[in-house]
Amino acid sequence: MSESSWMRMMWWRSTYEPTAYDDDWEDQPRQGAFYKWVLGVMLPAALLAYGVCTLVRQETDFGPDGGMTLRGLNALAYGTAWASAGVFLHCHYFWGNIYDQARWAVLGKIAGAAGFIAGLGFVIVRIVVLGMR
């Protein structure tokens, strides 16, 4: 295969079109009580509770067997990341299952993803790059 035909094939390949039974993060989630109530309410509530506890205490153990303790700004950012993950999952699985609320689900997923990326990115930069615990 020549280089030009390979490039043409890569640029003109068919796009991914999910069906109603596929679950990706940018479209409607799978339908059903398990997805709406377990993945849309119970799991996000657990993540949100962990994040809020970390925010309130401003301290958490991180790593296998509590290998590292995060305090202060690192703990606040880490708690924000997990609370945002809970918001993301709640908006995707709960509000995404209600069709007239899908617009708000997308906005909530954007906010949740931004908070998760910002919080975890802050912690990674401070610990790995700057060496601040």
Q: What is the pLDDT of residues 30-88, one digit of tens each?
A: 788 898 999 999 999 999 999 999 999 999 997 777 688 999 999 999 999 999 999 99
**Beta strand pairing call for 68-71 and 59-62:** antiparallel
Residue-level pLDDT at 51:
97
One DSSP character per residue, the chain reads --HHHHHHHHHSPPPP---TT---TTSPPPPSHIIIIIIIIIHHHHHHHHHHHHHHHTEEEESGGG-EEEETHHHHHHHHHHHHHHHHHHHHHTGGGSGGGHHHHHHHHHHHHHHHHHHHHHHHIIIIIS---
The mean predicted confidence, pLDDT, of the chain is 84
Q: Tell me which of 16-25, 42-51, 114-123 is least confident.
A: 16-25
Q: In the numeric block, which tokens belong to residue 27?
A: 């479209």
pTM (predicted TM-score): 0.77
Phi-psi region of 58 (alpha: psi -120 to 50; beta: other; left: phi over 0): left
Burial readout 36-49 (b: 16 or more C-beta within 10 A, e: otherwise): beebbeebbeebbe
Mean pLDDT within 110-121: 96
Q: Please give the Cα distance from 100 to 21 (Å, whole number).
A: 19
Q: Is the pLDDT of residue 92 over 70?
A: yes
Mean pLDDT within 89-102: 86
